[in-house]
Structure 1
Amino acid sequence: MTVLVAGSHGGIGRACVEVVRAAGGTAFGVDLADGIDITRPGGAEQAVARAVSAHGKITGVVHAVGMSGRSLGDGGITECGDAAWSEVHRVNHESVFRLLRATVPVMEQGGSIVVIGSALGTSIDDDFRTVAYASAKGALIPLIRSAAREAAPRGVRINLISAGLVATPMSRRAQADRAIQARLPRLMPLGAALCDPADIAAAVLWLLSSAAHRTTGAVIPVDGGWHLR
């Protein structure tokens, strides 16, 4: 298993690198700190070229790049400004398109691509009212399904993980908000705690493995039951 992990310095991306290596696989991580920005034209192709040059092939891909737009003004539909809307969609949605376009042609038969999405892409909550972020994550569903249909004859699988509230730096606001913390048993009824990055990484590893060889175009919730509300 040779896996390209985009966003490898983030909480979920780092956990994915660790779980792939712990399983005996090879993880090739790329991030802004490595001088590779897959959200920009040519960045995804650069990441693929480096991974193939280093390891000869790619059998798996993880897209774990993401951002919150709150600092840019993301909020409700009457609050979200143009800058927040454009930047959040560029990073959270457009970058997935770029990485899929660059990786599908070089994947070997039996390859697997996993994209990290969000429960907010399908379930809106007043404490997390960020229209740009929610719509960008929601738009990933038809994107990965279209790509999965196209890639299936190649033997390449593409799936999306709908992550709940995860204990990463991006969720600091929610972690520090006592009102949100008090709501956790209702938001995620399967335990009154945030998801751990390792929880997401474990699902990623399954989707990358041959155990999931008949699964493609799926949206798999790893959200503590958020989607049950």
Structure 2
Amino acid sequence: MPHFSSRFAGKTVVVTGAGSGIGRATAERLAAEGARVVASDIDPARLDAVELGAAGVKVAGDITQAAVVASVFDACEGRLDGLANVAGVMDGFLPIAEVDDETWDRVLAVNLTAVMRCTRAAVRLMEPAGAGSIVQVASEAGLRGSAGGVSYTAAKHAVIGLGRSAAFACKGTGVRVNVVAPGGVITGIDATPRSEKGFQSVMTVLMAAAPGLADAGDIAAAITWLLSDEAKNVSGAVLASDGGWSSI
């Protein structure tokens, strides 16, 4: 672990999807910078391996379940300074003609509804305190139609809208809401294609236009900057951390 500052000393930050990839990199970086991290993941074994220090709290469970969301925010013990909504699932690159209702419902439940519920819970804790920062993790698929299947793309577009609406609703309260839109990243998320047509369509665009894959730590750096006081003048922004892909 590289040396980090103590800019989150004394702060409590929730990270969902903390068991692997971007979520784990974010949670461990926050802990290294002094935060008390409340980390959530559906996989108890992966969550157990995350290094949060003595002050960290781990809540294993399916974030689409209201009771799990309640447990995560109860663990904050009345104080919350930051939230990183990282938990997400892929959709097998299923295009509109091939997507089934089960895939659609699951992807929207994890990638959108859970994000809304966590954001709502966070705002309810932050607004009375007059401060807080929320970062939603969208995707390059939230900026274009050619970076994922229909369920994933729809959910990530909606996450950007949710972030902007929440930022507007929170103006003047001291609570900031921003969005990070990663491009291709090396993570533990299951990206097994279930549609050869959909997968090849996305890969054709990706190989022609996108830069190489980023490391999860690169995205964690963007997330933690937005969570920190260094970004105190930033709210309602969508930060593309994609190596320049979104400029094409």
TM norm structure 1: 0.86
Closer, same or farther: CA 18–63 of 1 in aligned 2, 3 Å:
same
Which residue of structure 1 aligns with residue 72 of structure 2? 47
Q: Does 1:17 align with 2:27?
A: yes
**2:123 aligns with one of 104, 115, 139:** 104
Closer, same or farther: CA 68–178 of 1 in aligned 2, 3 Å:
closer
Is the contact between residue 110 and residue 213 of structure 1 (CA under 8 Å) also seen in structure 2?
A: no
Closer, same or farther: CA 97–179 of 1 in aligned 2, 3 Å:
closer
Is the contact between residue 141 and residue 148 of structure 2 (CA under 8 Å) also seen in structure 1?
A: no
**1:28 aligns with one of 38, 43, 50:** 38
Which residue of structure 1 aligns with residue 80 of structure 2? 58
Residue 44 of structure 1 deviates from its aligned partner by 1.7
Residue 23 of structure 1 deviates from its aligned partner by 1.8
Residue 185 of structure 1 deviates from its aligned partner by 6.5
Distance 2:192 2:98 in 1: 18
Residue 109 of structure 1 deviates from its aligned partner by 2.5
Residue identity in the other structure for 2:132: G
Alignment of 1:71-110 (within 5 A): 75-107=94-126, 108-110=129-131
Q: Does 1:38 align with 2:63?
A: yes
**2:189 aligns with one of 162, 170, 173:** 170
Distance 2:237 2:205 in 1: 28
Which residue of structure 2 aligns with residue 68 of structure 1? 90
Residue identity in the other structure for 1:41: A
Instruction: Count residues in correspondence.
Output: 216
Structure 1 residue runs without a partner (length 5+): none
Deviations 1:52-82 (A, max 9, x none): 2xxx511011111000122xxx511111111
Deviations 1:160-186 (A, max 9, x none): 100111101226559xx9998897674
Which residue of structure 1 aligns with residue 17 of structure 2? 7
Instruction: Please state whether the residue corresponding to 2:76 is helix, strand or coil.
Output: helix
Residue identity in the other structure for 2:246: H
Residue identity in the other structure for 1:15: A
Is the contact between residue 176 and residue 234 of structure 2 (CA under 8 Å) also seen in structure 1?
A: yes
| Structure with the higher fraction of residues in helix conformation | 1
Instruction: Please state whether the residue corresponding to 1:115 is helix, strand or coil.
Output: strand
Is the contact between residue 114 and residue 159 of structure 1 (CA under 8 Å) also seen in structure 2?
A: yes
Q: Does 1:198 align with 2:217?
A: yes
Closer, same or farther: CA 35–129 of 1 in aligned 2, 3 Å:
closer
Distance 2:74 2:41 in 1: 14
Instruction: Please state whether the residue corresponding to 1:42 is helix, strand or coil.
Output: helix
Is the contact between residue 60 and residue 113 of structure 1 (CA under 8 Å) also seen in structure 2?
A: yes
Distance 1:47 1:142 in 2: 24
Alignment of 1:101-140 (within 5 A): 101-107=120-126, 108-125=129-146, 128-140=147-159
Residue identity in the other structure for 2:139: S
Structure 2 residue runs without a partner (length 5+): 1-10, 45-58, 194-198
Closer, same or farther: CA 179–81 of 1 in aligned 2, 3 Å:
closer
Instruction: Please state whether the residue corresponding to 1:5 is helix, strand or coil.
Output: strand
Distance 2:38 2:28 in 1: 11
Instruction: Please state whether the residue corresponding to 1:152 is helix, strand or coil.
Output: coil
Is the contact between residue 66 and residue 92 of structure 1 (CA under 8 Å) also seen in structure 2?
A: yes
Distance 1:22 1:201 in 2: 12
Residue identity in the other structure for 2:102: A
Which residue of structure 1 aligns with residue 209 of structure 2? 187
